Chains A and B, each alone.
Chain A
């Protein structure tokens, strides 16, 4: 599934340009620019205090930026545009004493839906999120995980045209993670730009089309997941044989990075050198595997943040 082929006409729908925010003396966001494409699931990763929440609040207009602009389809965001956004704030919050369905219907209506349609949206979404049995329970009576699901419903119930979710997966059990992933993927497939932050880099890696990495208030890297992997991924190769791989060290143009008996990770100066290693390994004995080392998002993250 290559995202680019899925949306051949995609353009940048939500765009941040040189967004800057100061908290007193501290520069929280320093000329932050990135875009979230229509129908793209964009992961927003960064350490604690890197500026993720501040950025999202500025996108939603909950916080005012000191400089820069946020635009949708090329024009500056207005309050009317933002009404069509779905937002899940970092700090969760719903009315504790309101009932699950009632709350979702209320939020849909605040976004302008007529009562019947609001109710239909809410019912469908809550059913899908596994809250079908809890319609008449108050939010405060739900478990934390279910409160989290209700929170996601609150962000999606009005069929937003842009989704901004701050840590949507935190506090969810694996089943719920699965459900929410499905809901977000569907929203993106429906053409909605989705920006979400997460500390769970494995989920981001699995789910996202694009990545934005922020560190210390600056964008450290952004772009398609595969492009980033190609750009920041290592040129290391991994060899696993049934024999010993000590001979690798003697090969010209090869630098061994890690080594343990029949297993080794190395860098090759040229394709020829790499091919020669494979040929040598085959001639020496059984090759179990010979692969390019998989670069995880965690590795890319560490590299660009450094």
Chain B
């Protein structure tokens, strides 16, 4: 905010100009009329509080820098993925004489015709080609592959003859891709929850530590304060995720990796829905646990249990993404559902009703967490000094 020109215009305006009927009945004569202001409703208060959270956060250099780094990391991983991904150029091979027929039409190989093996060897030693394919009458295939210091497996693979393969139960997704997706959902949830969870915690403790909370509570309810904080930070977390998603998709499209995008559709939608609800749950828990202490230094001790609730699903996803049983359980446990269920949807392991059931469980848990969180928040907000024991915080 600036002290723009409208300030000067506003100076000197007397109260009479803004007089409205006072809310207090005034039968005493003599006192000048007071401007009365309609009491702001809950929604107004919440949006003001949420707006402040967002403004202050966007002004923080630390936040902007860390968001920038995160964006760069996402972009880098997309670009690196395209460089080292499967779509490599065909391997150059020197082809001697009649061996050309064996190489012809092979998309994985880029033949460089040479007159004899010696010329090929020269190219190989110069690093111009990866291998030499030469005629070999004694070989059943009639050719031989000559490498420099190790078996040129890419070339051998390209020339190998495979029997026809038929799978009775083909896996829907490539396991490597599945891992990537699980890891992606996990890391996005983990990062956002930790980042914005600790932001909320800091914001709560800051208000307690600076005692501004006493002024706030004489104006707005604890419920409005908590709701505003949760919404403000959820909007930020969401904004960050959308930015990451847009960046990642744009990056994938630009580098031509359309394959990855194909199967992601519905699982991404579920992820967003689960994330929105799950984040509110975690935000309420972070706020409540932070309200139990009065100093920023003590924050770690109370928020650690909540942090664990975020970390556990993250690690479970990484370790058990290929175990359908563990994944099935995870997709119903509220704390891991935002990661577990979208992964199962992606892998095609979930029936159509499963995400809905899991979402209902998550919403119910979130409602409970918000109720408990609000109670703790309200009860502990004005208690300064040492950490408030949980039992006392719940009892009030």
Taking a contact as CB atoms under 8 Å apart, the answer to whether A110 and B48 are in contact is: yes
How near does chain A come to B384, taking the closest CB pair, in angstroms?
8
Q: How many A-B residue pairs have CB under 8 A?
A: 146
CB of A111 closer than 8 Å to a CB of B: yes
Chain B neighbourhood of A120, CB < 8 A: 7, 10-11, 13, 18
How near does chain A come to B326, taking the closest CB pair, in angstroms?
44
Taking a contact as CB atoms under 8 Å apart, the answer to whether A39 and B18 are in contact is: no
Taking a contact as CB atoms under 8 Å apart, the answer to whether A62 and B211 are in contact is: no
Chain A neighbourhood of B12, CB < 8 A: 124
In the complex formed, the residue of B with least CB distance to A64 is B396
Taking a contact as CB atoms under 8 Å apart, the answer to whether B24 and A72 are in contact is: yes
Taking a contact as CB atoms under 8 Å apart, the answer to whether B3 and A136 are in contact is: yes
Q: Which of B3, B26, B30 has the most CB of A within 10 A?
A: B3
Size band of the interface chain A makes with B: 35 or more
A97 to B24 CA separation, bound complex (whole angstroms): 35
CB of B37 closer than 8 Å to a CB of A: yes
A7 to B220 CA separation, bound complex (whole angstroms): 32
How near does chain A come to B46, taking the closest CB pair, in angstroms?
11
- From B38, B215, B216, A112 is in contact (CB under 8 Å) with B38
How near does chain B come to A223, taking the closest CB pair, in angstroms?
20
A154 to B210 CA separation, bound complex (whole angstroms): 14
How near does chain B come to A1, taking the closest CB pair, in angstroms?
15
Chain A neighbourhood of B7, CB < 8 A: 119-120, 123, 135
Given contacts A101-B1, A111-B40, A190-B34, contact A116 B10 (CB under 8 A): yes
CB of B29 closer than 8 Å to a CB of A: yes
How near does chain B come to A113, taking the closest CB pair, in angstroms?
5
Chain A neighbourhood of B34, CB < 8 A: 159, 161, 190-192
CB of A158 closer than 8 Å to a CB of B: yes
A109 to B218 CA separation, bound complex (whole angstroms): 14
Q: Give the residues from 145 to 163 in chain A that come closer than 8 angstroms, CB to CB, to chain B.
A: 154-155, 158-159, 161
CB of A92 closer than 8 Å to a CB of B: yes
CB of A127 closer than 8 Å to a CB of B: yes
Given contacts A85-B218, A107-B219, contact A191 B28 (CB under 8 A): yes
Stretch at the interface among A8-16, A26-34, A226-234: A8-16
Chain B neighbourhood of A68, CB < 8 A: none
- From A9, A94, A98, A110, B219 is in contact (CB under 8 Å) with A110
Mask of B262-276 contacts with A, CB within 8 angstroms, 1/0: 000000000000000
Chain B neighbourhood of A102, CB < 8 A: 1
How near does chain B come to A23, taking the closest CB pair, in angstroms?
11
Chain B neighbourhood of A91, CB < 8 A: 211, 214, 384
Taking a contact as CB atoms under 8 Å apart, the answer to whether B212 and A93 are in contact is: yes
How near does chain A come to B221, taking the closest CB pair, in angstroms?
7
Chain B neighbourhood of A283, CB < 8 A: none
- From A73, A80, A95, A107, B210 is in contact (CB under 8 Å) with A95
Chain B neighbourhood of A87, CB < 8 A: 214-215, 218
Chain B neighbourhood of A88, CB < 8 A: 215
CB of A224 closer than 8 Å to a CB of B: no
A11 to B212 CA separation, bound complex (whole angstroms): 33
CB of B39 closer than 8 Å to a CB of A: yes
Chain B neighbourhood of A39, CB < 8 A: 31
A124 to B219 CA separation, bound complex (whole angstroms): 21
Taking a contact as CB atoms under 8 Å apart, the answer to whether A89 and B30 are in contact is: no
How near does chain B come to A248, taking the closest CB pair, in angstroms?
49
Taking a contact as CB atoms under 8 Å apart, the answer to whether B32 and A191 are in contact is: yes
Q: Give the residues from 6 to 61 in chain B that come closer than 8 angstroms, CB to CB, to chain A.
A: 6-7, 10-13, 15, 18, 22-32, 34-40, 44-45, 48-49, 52, 56, 59
Taking a contact as CB atoms under 8 Å apart, the answer to whether A161 and B24 are in contact is: yes
A137 to B181 CA separation, bound complex (whole angstroms): 47
Chain A neighbourhood of B28, CB < 8 A: 7, 9-11, 38, 191
- From B13, B15, B25, B206, A95 is in contact (CB under 8 Å) with B206
Taking a contact as CB atoms under 8 Å apart, the answer to whether B39 and A83 are in contact is: yes
A76 to B372 CA separation, bound complex (whole angstroms): 29
Mask of A43-73 contacts with B, CB within 8 angstroms, 1/0: 0000000000000010011110000000011
A92 to B215 CA separation, bound complex (whole angstroms): 9
Chain B neighbourhood of A10, CB < 8 A: 28
Q: Which of B12, B30, B45 has the most CB of A within 10 A?
A: B30
CB of B213 closer than 8 Å to a CB of A: yes
A106 to B49 CA separation, bound complex (whole angstroms): 9
Mask of A103-135 contacts with B, CB within 8 angstroms, 1/0: 001110111110011011001100100000001
Q: Chain B interface (Cβ within 8 Å of chain A)?
A: 1-3, 6-7, 10-13, 15, 18, 22-32, 34-40, 44-45, 48-49, 52, 56, 59, 206-207, 210-221, 382, 384
Give me 17 other A-B pairs in contact (C-beta within 8 A), A89-B215, A111-B40, A158-B37 excluded. Answer: A10-B28, A62-B214, A72-B24, A84-B36, A91-B384, A93-B211, A93-B212, A93-B213, A95-B210, A110-B216, A110-B219, A112-B38, A120-B13, A123-B10, A124-B11, A159-B34, A161-B24
25 A-B contacts (beta carbon < 8 Å): A7-B31, A60-B218, A61-B217, A79-B221, A82-B218, A83-B39, A89-B214, A93-B211, A94-B212, A95-B212, A97-B56, A97-B59, A101-B3, A106-B48, A111-B219, A112-B38, A116-B10, A119-B10, A120-B7, A123-B3, A123-B10, A124-B11, A161-B22, A190-B34, A191-B26
Q: Considering the complex of A and B, which 5 residue pairs feature the smallest CB-CB distances, nearest first?
A: A191-B31, A93-B211, A120-B10, A93-B212, A93-B210
